[in-house]
Amino acid sequence: MSEQEAYGRKDNRMLLQDTMQSSGEFNDPAAWLKETDIVSYDFPYAAELIAESFREWRGQAVPPFAKLWEWCVLSFDGKWLEAIDGSGARSERWKAQWEAEAAYSLRSGKLYSAEERTTEPAMVLLTIPVFTRGLGEIFALLGCAMTAEQYEQGGVHTAEAMAMHFQTCFYHRFEHVFVSDLAGVHQHAERESSRRSLLFQIVQRMHDNIDVNAVLTEVIDSISAMYPGARLDLFMSQDHRSTHPQVKPLPFRWGDDDVCAKAFKDGRVALHAGPDKRSVEIGLPLGGKQGVYGVFHMVLDRPAFPDVDLRFLSMVADTAGTAFENAKLYERSNQLIRELRMSNELTQRLNQSLRLGDIFQYAFEELLEMFDADYCCILHLNEEKGGLEAIACNYQPLRGEIIDAGNGLGGKVYTTGEPIIVSNYRDAEDTSSKLMQATHSQSLIATPLSVGGEVRGAIMLAHREPQFFSYDSFRLLQAMAGHIGLAVGNARLHAEVRYLANRDSLTGLYARHYLDEEIKERQSKDFCGSLIVVDIDQFKMVNDTYGHQKGDKILKQVSEIVKSSIRQGDIAARWGGEELAVYLPQLGVQQAVFVAERIRKRVMGETEPRVTVSCGIAEWSWTDDRVSVESLFYRADMALYDAKNNGRNQVVIDCKDADVSVKNP
């Protein structure tokens, strides 16, 4: 029904209500329907209704003598609408004549007749106005063709009566359409009210939830309740892991004509009818202010769901997108708080120690718990061994292994300085990892370990399930690696400062105070130990002859010979001036003699200019009375004094231990 037609009926109904209220005709609840009418504004839109009424009227009871009459119906402006040929002839032959007669009837408002003598028998053509029942306006005209004899026998009166019957048929259909429209409006209003109420309840329930999974479950259940039996899935583009069976990850590849691809790209509802027109496929974007997060995919059977309210579904999806976005922001804020807390806890634990080994162990334990990973491997550059050392790893066969800097995923992270994420190791191309293969892991996040702006290693976290780590986890690992790198840098700096504090700057040997502390600590744990004091013979003459720079060079040469002549755990120190000291843990005096003799012979043969050294040896044992560090040094110094007085270039053992001297042959 047109807008003008609706307005005309509304005005007419208001006038009718006023009339009926004044006359007290509200006793009959259907009385107002009998007074409904069309007005001149409705006439241009009533042609179809007039034609339908004409066909219905002609199919009803007609007097026997009038069955062979030919009839037509014309519009309010005299235009031909439809004809019914009762005799079998073509009624369109008089179309122009009927339209011409209709013009006379419209001007006069009366029946018009004209005799047609070109046919046999002679015919009379009538045009009969049909009036509205309210204002008496002509809204249609009936055309009738009968023989002249029938006309003279009173056929005109029968035609007028049949025209009145047509008016009754028209208003019967008009009232039916009017009531159907009212019922449709009422049903539509009830449906809209019900859906608004349902939408309000859905919105309230979704916004009452600040949990992402609860929001998605609510909208899926709501749509499923509206269209039971429909196939519904939700494809999410976010890093969101859901246990709901209808929530699935967004496919990486979609066809160009796929409704989900169109809905996701355009952010609008997409519709596609099945090839047999018995099903319909719908894509509903789940979006908020910041973008589209996913797509609802619905497949409905046409027979079961002939009417699909896309506008309502779109409103539900938009509401769900806003609620999802709010829940996601709340979840993100909680996650940021959690990350800050974990970062603070990690930093506090890392700062509890300045030992590099402790820091890597703390970081390893915290990362495993923080990311719920199956495996963690921390690679650190070992310059002495020329590769990346797995310094912390809960897969024991890899712990301590040296990996070439250019191999595997860890080597790739180290060389490129870029973090990587692997969702499914089986599908990854051109990637290999000993950790992933050995542990049968599928998910990996890895980030470089930077210390002082320089990449010094890599941190790798693995899990057996594919697509386990989210982008948030990937980003968090990079942040945690920054804290770990800072702690490692502090430990390295502390170790370097301690190294410098405990080392002699010229020779690179330990300082005397460090040697004193180490001997004290060893005496509390070991059962014996020996001390060798080494002195360069006639070193003053070397300085006077060659200069102090040459003397420093000689001192460095002797120091290097000493360092290369002892074990890994032995401690070499500069005692003072040209005197050096070597402490040999858990070695007796006899083994110390061999070490001292090796040093003496190498100095005599490898220095340039050639110099010699004298050595004094003292030992302590747990069977002796407690020997202090000072007394141990004193005894070794006395043995050295004897070596000097007995001709130099020899090894002398403390006389308390034995009367032994090893002289230069």
Cβ atoms of residues 94 and 143 within 8 Å: yes
| Tens-digit pLDDT profile for residues 63-82 | 777 778 888 999 999 998 88
Per residue in 407-435, pLDDT tens? 888 888 888 889 988 888 887 777 788 88
Could you tell me if 513 and 630 are in contact, meaning their C-beta atoms sit under 8 angstroms apart?
A: no
Is the predicted pLDDT of residue 7 greater than 60, yes or no?
A: no
Task: Say yes or no to pLDDT of 585 above 90.
Answer: yes
Return the beta strands (E) in 586-638 as ranges.
Answer: 613-621
What are the strands of the beta sheet with 291-301, ordered from one edge?
247-249, 231-236, 291-301, 279-288, 270-273
Instruction: Measure the CA dihedral 333/338/340/345, to 10°.
Output: 170
Q: How far apart are CA 628 and CA 491, in angstroms?
A: 33
Question: Does 583 score more than 80 pLDDT?
Answer: yes
- pLDDT for 240: 66
pLDDT at 18 over 60: no
Burial 265-276 (b: 16+ CB within 10 A, else e): eeeebbeeeeee
User: What integer pLDDT is reported at residue 561 of this predicted model?
Assistant: 93
**pTM, rounded to two decimals:** 0.50
Q: What is the dihedral of CA 506, 507, 509, 515, to 10 degrees?
A: -60
pLDDT at position 463 is 92
Helix (H) or strand (E) holding 377: strand 375-382
Higher per-residue confidence, 575 vs 64 = 575
Which is more confidently placed, 216 or 165? 165
- Bridge partners, 583 (sequence order): 531, 571
What residues have CB less than 8 Å from 7, skipping those under 6 apart? 41
* 22 has a pLDDT exceeding 90: no
Model confidence at 19, pLDDT cuts 50, 70, 90, reads: very low
Model pLDDT, residue 91: 56
- Judge whether residue 613 has pLDDT over 90: yes
Nearest to 235, CA basis, from 209, 265, 198, 205: 265
Highest mean pLDDT among 211-225, 309-323, 502-516, 561-575: 561-575
User: Tokens in use for 427?
Assistant: 């599908």
Bond preceding residue 121 cis, omega within 30 of 0: yes
For residue 199, the model assigns a pLDDT of 65
Residue 13 predicted with pLDDT over 70: no
Determine the pLDDT at residue 27: 59
Mean pLDDT, residues 24-31: 57
Name the CA radius of gyration of the chain, rounded. Answer: 53
Residue 162: Cβ-neighbour burial (10 angstroms; 0-12, 13-18, 19+) = buried
Q: Of all residues in the chain, what percent carry a pLDDT higher than 90? A: 20
Is residue 20's pLDDT more than 50?
no
Instruction: For the beta carbon of residue 564, count every other beta carbon within 10 angstroms.
Output: 12
136 has pLDDT over 50: yes
Q: Is the pLDDT of residue 229 over 60?
A: yes
Interval 341-348 mean pLDDT: 72
pLDDT of 29 reads 61
Tell me which of 526 and 197 has the higher pLDDT.
526
Position 307 confidence tier, pLDDT thresholds 50, 70, 90: low
The whole-number pLDDT of residue 603 equals: 92
Mean pLDDT of 121-148: 90
Which amino acid type is present at position 587?
L
Distance from C-alpha of 285 to C-alpha of 316, rounded to nearest angstrom:
10
Q: Are 109 and 73 in contact (CB under 8 A)?
A: no
387-399 residue pLDDT tens? 888 888 888 888 8
What pLDDT, on a 0 to 100 scale, did the predictor assign at position 127? 93
CA angle centred on 647, ends 642 and 652, rounded to 5° = 40
pLDDT attached to residue 256: 66
Quick one: pLDDT band at residue 543, thresholds 50, 70, 90?
A: confident
Task: Determine the distance from the C-alpha atom of residue 601 to the mean position of all C-alpha atoms in its chain, rounded to a whole number.
Answer: 72
Calpha distance 272→256 (Å, rounded): 13
Contact 324, 291 (CB under 8 A): no
User: Is pLDDT at 310 greater than 50 in this prediction?
Assistant: yes
Confidence of residue 1 (pLDDT cuts 50, 70, 90): very low
What distance in Å separates the CA atoms of residue 251 and residue 237, rounded to the nearest whole number?
A: 9
From the DSSP assignment, how many helices (H) and strands (E) are in the chain?
A: 18, 22
pLDDT in tens, 253-267: 777 678 888 888 888
pLDDT-derived band of residue 663, with 50, 70 and 90 as boundaries?
very low
Query: What is the SS3 assignment for 35?
Result: coil
3-state helix, strand, coil in the chain (%, to 5): 50, 20, 30
* Mean pLDDT computed over every residue of the chain: 81
Which whole number is the average pLDDT over 270-281?
A: 76
Angstrom distance (rounded) from CA 274 to CA 344:
57
